[in-house]
Structure 1
Amino acid sequence: MRAVSLALLFAGSLLGWEAELVSVDKIWDRAPHQAFTDLIRFQDRWYATFREADGHVRGDGRLRVITSADGSAWESAALLEESGIDLRDPKLSETPDGRLMLTAGGSTYRNGELVGRRPRVFFSADGRGWTAPEPVLAEGDWLWRTTWHNGRAWGVSYTKDGCTLYSSGDGRAWTRVTDWDVPGCTEVTVRFTPDGEMWAMVRRDRSGDDDFGWIGTAHAPYRSWTWNKAKERFGGPDFERLPDGSWIAGSRHYGDPTTTVVARLGRDSYEPLITLPSGGDTSYPGLVYHDGTVWFSFYASQEGKTNVYLAKIRLR
């Protein structure tokens, strides 16, 4: 579909980089509600995924995968669904054997009330043909994002009792690593430095005095964590390591209006740099660094309904 340009220029400091918002384009708007995005570059093509449904929660959510050779012209590659299950929060990663892996949450509703939930995984060799959904972990878990490092998958699942770090050799069978003592912990993205240090960007729903996000770091075997509190609440967090070793992040900004922001992330700091054209029901970005540019998928509803957008942020 033809992209609709929304914004052109913003500059901000990013350590040794200049961060310039080059463009924001609408790349999908065909469902009543499309949200909760992720983005990956795979086999020299772009793939984005998101949930399609009638609204933000409940219903029979389906997962759309779209693809593009150049990031401008997008087409549908697949539509993943499971009868009676509301699929949401799709996340893409590439397995060590060169396949795409998609993780998602699957919820069951009865008369509009949530009665069960469990993560699912899907696999694809080409981004178009996908395996049937396979339940993983246990009933009540919500595995939010998977990151591969040294041949293993890592991810954090949250339940009503808190967050647990898991690892897997194949994306199907997961082993508990450690439980986190992080009050209100929900959505988590983990990433790695070249020397194997794991970083975590953690959304916290209100627990005690505040709901500010936490930033964590740990070395192998990843059972002992150092935690620092950001001065912002996170929503749909993602972050990516840049060539200079710094981190660029994306999240929801809980202001008036609610927006999606691009931010600098440090061990004990989180600094919003760019507010993207967004509002209302928004955030859940996917970030990919490629050839000096950060490609940043997200959803927003400032045009009257939720649509999926792609921002390009040039670093120099």
Structure 2
Amino acid sequence: MKSTLLLAALAFTAVLAAPAADPPKVTVSNLRRVFHNGEHNAFTDLIRFKDDLYLTFRSCPAGHDVNSTASAIILRSKDEGATWDPVHRFSVPQRDTRDPHFLIFKDRLFVYTGTWWSGEGTLPREKRDMNEHLGYAVVSDDGVQWSAPLMLEGTYGHYIWRAAAYDGKAYLCGRRKTNFNTGAQGEGSGIQSVMLESEDGLIWRKRAFFSENGGNETAFLFEKDGSVLAIDRHRSPATLNRSKPPYTEWSRQPLDRFIGGPLLVKWGEHCLVGGRHSTKDRGPKTTLYWLVDDKLQEFAEFPSAGDNSYPGFVELSPTRALVSYYSTHEKDEAGKPITAIYLAELTLNP
């Protein structure tokens, strides 16, 4: 599918904080809607694989709720994000195919999805059980031909989320009920976050707990020495977590706000954080930050409202990058809010 609607160009500068130096500036431009098919389109991720860019997200005609009609869409761009074409769409029978995330591991491109069991149609909230979660993946060697959805051994009862790789092993964030409790449904303080580890990207085992209470969506960032930094959505506020191999001991500190659908990446020597910020006067907004001295410095807020956030990031060059996100701030011709996928370009100014 070609990129269609080009929104009014957004261009502004913002501060990039860097240790012991005057902060350079960032320009945000070419903000545009790149996908809308009349369904609920949400939970994005971006990656570069074999010279092409890939964008993935969930699409569901039944909306945000847990529903078996959900699927994951994968788009490819051969021109640095100017246009996008579909290369794959997949779903898992009787499961809500949700929160797709990329990982390049051993020269293969993986798309991981945490799936709620839903049966046929929409599963009521009171019947949702994390113990019935199961992770799946589709895999490609070339970005064109994809495997069927593959069940991930060792993930039953875990809601898998973002993935990362280091030193020949893959790692997943997995959320689960404490002791797989069969009592209360849904999520809450009795949720653990587990770092899952794999040698092939398909068979997983627990490496360690990194949050034993109130665990939530978490993004990992591995440094060259094997130490890992993590942003845990937690409940409120989000937390900044750290560990070193073998990742059995973690330090945690609260940040100054909630971050929904967190993104954590390295751009050059700087750590970029993104996610949903629940503002007091303007509602939820998709926002980007620099992590400086363990504190968040906001530098961009994208047009967004209501159901939004879950950004992805891909570096185009040392000074240019793309960010993806979803939002419901636009309306269709009938005045009904749509949930669509958007891209924006970031440029570092010297």
TM-score per shorter chain, which class?
over 0.9
* Alignment match, 2:199: 169
* Alignment match, 2:342: 309
Report which of the two structures shows the higher radius of gyration computed on alpha carbons.
Answer: 2
SS at match of 1:5: coil
Matched, 1:91 2:121: no
In proportion to residue count, which structure has more strand? Answer: 1
**Letter of the aligned partner of 2:160 in structure 1?**
L
Give yes or no for contact 1:78–1:127 (8 Å, CA) kept in 2. no
**Letter of the aligned partner of 1:91 in structure 2?**
H
Q: Which segment is superposed worse, 103-112 or 229-238?
A: 103-112
Task: Select the residue among 267, 275, 287 that pairs with 1:242.
Answer: 267
What's the TM-score once normalised by structure 1's chain length?
0.93
* Pairing 1:5-16 to 2, within 5 Å after superposition: 5-15=7-17, 16=23
SS at match of 2:283: coil
RMSD: 1.6
Question: How far apart are the structure 1 equivalents of 2:303 and 2:92?
Answer: 33
* Alignment match, 1:102: 111
* Pairing 1:24-173 to 2, within 5 Å after superposition: 24-54=31-61, 55-59=63-67, 60-70=69-79, 71-96=81-106, 98-110=107-119, 112-113=123-124, 114-115=128-129, 116-136=132-152, 137-161=154-178, 162-173=192-203
Question: How far apart are the structure 1 equivalents of 2:87 and 2:64?
Answer: 23
* Alignment match, 1:21: 28
Question: How far apart are the structure 2 equivalents of 1:164 and 1:267?
Answer: 26
Question: How far apart are the structure 1 equivalents of 2:48 and 2:212?
Answer: 32
Which sections of structure 1, spanning at least 5 residues, go unmatched? 206-210
* Pairing 1:264-279 to 2, within 5 Å after superposition: 264-266=290-292, 268-279=294-305
Give yes or no for contact 1:6–1:277 (8 Å, CA) kept in 2. no
- Residue 91 and residue 6 in structure 1: after superposition, are their counterparts in 2 closer, same or farther (change >3 A)? farther
1:183 shift after superposition: 3.1
SS at match of 1:236: strand
Give yes or no for contact 1:229–1:268 (8 Å, CA) kept in 2. no
**Letter of the aligned partner of 1:127 in structure 2?**
G
* Pairing 1:195-274 to 2, within 5 Å after superposition: 195-205=225-235, 211-243=236-268, 245-255=269-279, 256-266=282-292, 268-274=294-300
- Residue 14 and residue 224 in structure 1: after superposition, are their counterparts in 2 closer, same or farther (change >3 A)? same
Q: Which segment is superposed worse, 26-35 or 134-143?
A: 134-143
Structure 1 segments, 4+ long, off by >4 Å, are: none
Question: How far apart are the structure 2 equivalents of 1:156 and 1:306?
Answer: 26
**Letter of the aligned partner of 1:151 in structure 2?**
G
- Residue 187 and residue 267 in structure 1: after superposition, are their counterparts in 2 closer, same or farther (change >3 A)? farther
**Letter of the aligned partner of 1:152 in structure 2?**
K
Question: How far apart are the structure 2 equivalents of 1:151 and 1:83?
Answer: 32
- Residue 53 and residue 193 in structure 1: after superposition, are their counterparts in 2 closer, same or farther (change >3 A)? same
1:139 shift after superposition: 2.4
Question: How far apart are the structure 1 equivalents of 2:173 and 2:338?
Answer: 31
* Alignment match, 1:208: none
Question: How far apart are the structure 2 equivalents of 1:170 and 1:198?
Answer: 20
Deviations 1:173-215 (CA, angstroms, capped at 9, x unpaired): 112111134531110110112222211010112xxxxx10001
Question: How far apart are the structure 2 equivalents of 1:6 and 1:163?
Answer: 41
Percent identical across equivalent pairs? 27
Aligned length: 309
**Letter of the aligned partner of 1:277 in structure 2?**
P
